[in-house]
């Protein structure tokens, strides 16, 4: 401090600012950790141990992996004298970090009947107490790692919910994970309107203060011609028209890989739609169990192939990532449905009014853009640099968050990404058109 020629008052002000940041971070840490635990409370040990498919993970694994992240990246590397809760957990709960050593194969996570759910919760308490105890001596570098860990855990909150939904759908009893009020199914959606978005040279990507993942950076310039964007998401009612017109049966709407996926898997409707002989598709499965298909709600759990095929059928296209981010730049996540709002965790019909709606929350929106680095992208140093960069191959960008996303986790520059056939997440579609 003396080398900077700071006065006593300035030094005290800096110290107070750091202490406020530390207090805010610990408050965020406690809230995030508590929400993850709360999401698992309705689950039995058997519920939390099962794995429905290789893309999904057991809820117990999510609880433990997010804890391992704090233990491995913060406590073991920066807290002197910290003793790991169980040395075997480093192997069991590492996900894909080559820099952190060997790990169990992803498709075998459902075989982890031990440790029990109760022991995993004890593991969480142990690590939580160690992080809070170490908070007073954390450097800025360590505080940034804790912040990254909180945002990492929020991603796993969403994965935990979507994986539980997929697991329960495999059960012939179609059980409910959470209780909720039924959704009003009356009426039809308002006609879709088109909003003109001005083009020009736009600066996109994350900049300024606030957290961001490395793949959101740096800020960069993109030239966009003017374009049209649908004012809301495509609804179940509109998707039924696509089905009834033979949308899943006509190859002309589909990319070659998408058509092969449809044929190989006998796809005829979005995931979780329930077919009834004589009635068609009147119901869908959700976290509250089977419920009547809400025609005014946005269609969910569709993959990139389906979104792209629907757009072709509708005489439109998917927006690019840059188009979506440019249009969303003036909006804040206030009106959409998020995980914080309720454990109903389902998208809601668009509100009335002019302008763009449902940009944030409700459903992740597929774009036509591959998940590739922004110009000038550099991954973080060390093992945390494996977080995003090494997945920039063969995946597509989704924007906006969903009803399973925590509200303070999302922003216009946020880049989610999945392979084009994956649809167990809360994903939907917004249309775009050229002018």
C-beta of residue 40 within 8 angstroms of C-beta of residue 59 = yes
**pLDDT of amino acid 313:** 98
Domain spanning 194-434: CATH 3.90.1580.10? yes
**pLDDT of amino acid 141:** 93
**pLDDT of amino acid 184:** 58
The CA-to-CA distance between both ends of the chain, in Å, stands at 58
**pLDDT of amino acid 422:** 98
Can you tell me the distance from the alpha carbon of 140 to that of 22, in angstroms, rounded to the nearest whole number?
9
* Segments of the chain scoring below 70 in pLDDT: 1-18, 180-188, 334, 342-344
Can you tell me the distance from the alpha carbon of 136 to that of 170, in angstroms, rounded to the nearest whole number?
46
C-alpha dist (Å) from residue 422 to 43, 253, 395: 25, 19, 10
Can you tell me the distance from the alpha carbon of 99 to that of 331, in angstroms, rounded to the nearest whole number?
38
**pLDDT of amino acid 31:** 96
Classify residue 372 by its DSSP letter: -
What are the tens digits of pLDDT across the range 23-78?
A: 999 999 999 999 999 999 999 999 999 999 999 999 999 999 999 999 999 999 99
**pLDDT of amino acid 331:** 84
What are the tens digits of pLDDT across the range 161-197?
A: 999 999 999 999 999 998 766 665 556 678 899 999 9
What is the torsional sign of CA 205, 365, 250, 420?
Answer: positive
3-class secondary structure, 369: strand
Among 322, 68, 29, 54, smallest CA distance to 167 is for 54
C-beta of residue 138 within 8 angstroms of C-beta of residue 146 = yes
C-beta of residue 398 within 8 angstroms of C-beta of residue 419 = no
Can you tell me the distance from the alpha carbon of 212 to that of 214, in angstroms, rounded to the nearest whole number?
6
What are the residue boundaries of the structural domains of the chain, listed by start? Answer: 2-169, 194-434
Residues whose CB is less than 8 angstroms from the CB of residue 53 and which lie 6 or more positions away in sequence, other chains included = 166, 424
């Amino acid at each position: 401090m003396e080398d900077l020629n700071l006065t006593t008052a300035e030094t005290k002000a800096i110290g107070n600012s750091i202490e406020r940041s530390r207090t805010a971070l610990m408050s965020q840490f406690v809230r995030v950790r508590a929400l993850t635990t709360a999401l698992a409370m309705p689950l039995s040990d058997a519920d939390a141990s099962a794995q429905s498919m290789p893309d999904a993970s057991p809820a117990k694994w999510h609880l433990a992996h997010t804890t391992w992240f704090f233990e491995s990246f913060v406590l073991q590397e920066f807290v002197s004298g910290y003793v790991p809760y169980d040395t075997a957990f480093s192997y069991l709960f590492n996900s894909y970090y080559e820099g952190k050593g060997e790990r169990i194969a992803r498709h075998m996570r459902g075989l982890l009947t031990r440790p029990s759910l109760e022991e995993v919760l004890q593991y969480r308490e142990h690590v939580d107490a160690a992080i809070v105890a170490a908070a007073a001596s954390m450097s800025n570098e360590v505080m940034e790692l804790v912040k990254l860990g909180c945002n990492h855990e929020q991603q796993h909150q969403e994965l935990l919910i979507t994986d539980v939904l997929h697991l329960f759908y495999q059960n012939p009893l179609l059980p409910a994970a959470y209780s909720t009020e039924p959704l009003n199914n009356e009426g039809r959606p308002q006609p879709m309107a088109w909003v003109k978005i001005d083009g020009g040279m736009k600066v996109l990507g994350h900049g300024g203060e606030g957290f961001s993942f490395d793949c959101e950076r740096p800020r960069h310039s993109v030239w966009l011609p003017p374009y049209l964007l649908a004012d809301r998401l495509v609804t179940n009612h509109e998707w039924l028209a696509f089905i009834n017109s033979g949308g899943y049966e006509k190859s002309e709407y589909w990319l070659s890989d998408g058509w092969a996926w449809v044929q190989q898997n006998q796809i005829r409707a979005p995931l979780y739609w329930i077919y009834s002989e004589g009635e068609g598709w009147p119901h869908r499965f959700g976290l509250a169990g089977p419920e009547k298909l809400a025609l005014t709600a946005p269609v969910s759990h569709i993959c990139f192939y389906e979104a792209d095929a629907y757009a072709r059928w509708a005489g439109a296209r998917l927006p690019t990532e840059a188009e979506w981010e440019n249009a969303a730049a003036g909006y804040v996540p206030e009106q959409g449905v998020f995980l914080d709002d309720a454990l109903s965790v389902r998208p809601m019909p668009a509100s009335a009014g002019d302008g763009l709606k449902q940009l944030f929350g409700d459903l992740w929106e597929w774009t036509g853009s591959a998940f590739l680095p922004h110009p000038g992208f550099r991954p973080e140093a060390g093992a945390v640099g494996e977080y995003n960069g090494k997945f920039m191959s063969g995946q597509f960008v989704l924007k906006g968050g969903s009803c399973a996303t925590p509200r303070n986790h999302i922003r216009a520059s946020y880049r989610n990404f999945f392979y084009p056939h994956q649809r167990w997440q809360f994903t939907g579609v917004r249309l775009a058109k050229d002018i």
